[in-house]
Chains A and B, each alone.
Chain A
Amino acid sequence: MSLKIISVSELNNYLKEKLENDRLLRNIWVKGELSNFKHHNSGHMYFTVKDRESTLRAVMFKSFNYNLPFEPTNGTSVLARGNISMYLRDGQYQLYVEELQPEGYGVMSLAYEQLKKKLQDEGLFAQERKKTIPVLPGKIGIVSSPTGAALQDILTVLLRRFPSANIVIAPTQVQGEQAPGLIVNALKKISKIKGIDVIIIGRGGGTLEELWAFNTEEVAREISRCEIPVITGIGHETDFTIADFVADIRAATPSAAAELAVPVQEELMQTLNRLKQRLSRIIPAHLNQRSQMLDSLERDLLKAINIKVVACKSRFMLAGEKLNILSPLSNLGRGYSICRDYQSKKIILKANQTYTGQQVEIILPEEDKLICLVQEIKEG
């Protein structure tokens, strides 16, 4: 039987490897009490985590602890997340901590983070799923405690903005063990009421425990399932519950939720009136414009016609004058007369067109006529 002889380093390395290769030890949450806490100048934190029977060495390097929201102290109950490995120099396995939380806060926070991740991965927080809130809701549903200040705040804001609001309240407990189930029922009932177009879930400020119902899976899923748009107004500005993530829109407070749910009635009326005025001015303005266009076209037309008429008139007059000048009748004024056979009215131009004894008519200016007999014919 020969025992293998190895060095300390070899052994520790072997153990280190064993520890690092164990899948379970790569990412664990450990609960215990802090002791021997030392915050080094380097920024690194060294401490032990212990329970009644056992201790565990731990280190939290500066890169992980720099934004810890609290300064750990001995005696604090904590939850620490990290991996197990070995510090070779000391031959000591320890927990390399990446996340540290005080325990009371921690348990709930953990559950919160886990549920948040789970639902997020399912896509329940996706923007595409969120419905738009109608501008003018028919009926407004409110899920809240009937005795809480939140309900009063919501009603005040709703009625101030929209005095004619039509509201249905589904009363429910908003904290305590029964709360999640009751909230789910209230939500179910109110979404079945005919005419509800938007639902406000409201709850005043409180501790994490008091708001807890809104971080439960059943409430989150019911909101997600709801076919009517949901506005959440839970706690104060900085409170983000899982219900808020799943809602169609989150308001910082119950009052803010009411503001998102209704428009200001007065403003809507004014908007409509203004639109009506604008609309009413457009047609007369158009007609005026077109009327003007017609007027100027009419003027142009008349002008053009006048010019034409004047031109025609002067052509006509010119022609008339020419005609006058050329007219044989104008000759009569100059001493000429027209001789024609009295019977046939045929004009006599030559002597051989007449005979002695013929009755002839001589036309003088101004239609004077002489009836004569041809006495003698002398050819020229």
Chain B
Amino acid sequence: MSKEENKGKLKFEDALAKIEGIVSQLETGKLTLEESLSKFQEGIGLIKHCQEDLNQAEQKIEMLVNSEDENRLIKVKNGEEGACS
């Protein structure tokens, strides 16, 4: 998950809450057709965004290396170790 790229976008739990809100609203049936369609669009868009967030994630384990001048991350995964800056 590269949350750095997601700055400015909605936090996952906020998006989820919004989606649930939209679904509840639509299920009451009290909106006009126009409002319903617009909320529907919004809801579908948010769901897509959340699913992308989940699907883009890739397992990654790194360990900080204590060195005098800087911290470096070493990739640690399934026994493989390699230096990465």
Q: Contact residues of A with B, CB < 8 Å?
A: 134-139, 146, 155, 159, 162-171, 186, 189-190, 193-195, 197, 265, 268-269, 271-272, 275-276, 278-280, 282-283, 286-287, 289-290
Contact = CB atoms under 8 A, between A and B. Distances in A.
A282 B61 contact: no
Given A134-B13, A136-B12, A197-B3, A279 B63 contact: no
Contacts of A138: 1-4, 6
Interface of B: 1-4, 6, 11-13, 16, 19-20, 22-23, 26-27, 29, 33, 36-37, 40, 43-44, 47, 50-51, 53-54, 57-64, 66, 71, 73, 76
26 contacts: A134-B13, A135-B16, A136-B11, A137-B3, A138-B2, A163-B59, A165-B59, A167-B60, A167-B62, A168-B62, A169-B61, A169-B63, A171-B63, A171-B64, A189-B64, A190-B64, A272-B19, A272-B50, A272-B51, A275-B47, A279-B26, A279-B44, A283-B26, A283-B40, A286-B26, A289-B29
Given A197-B3, A275-B23, A135 B50 contact: no
A282 B36 contact: yes
Contacts, number: 113
Nearest to B24: A278
Given A164-B59, A269-B51, A272-B47, A136 B33 contact: no
A125 B63 CA distance: 30
B25 to A, nearest CB: 10
A258 to B, nearest CB: 13
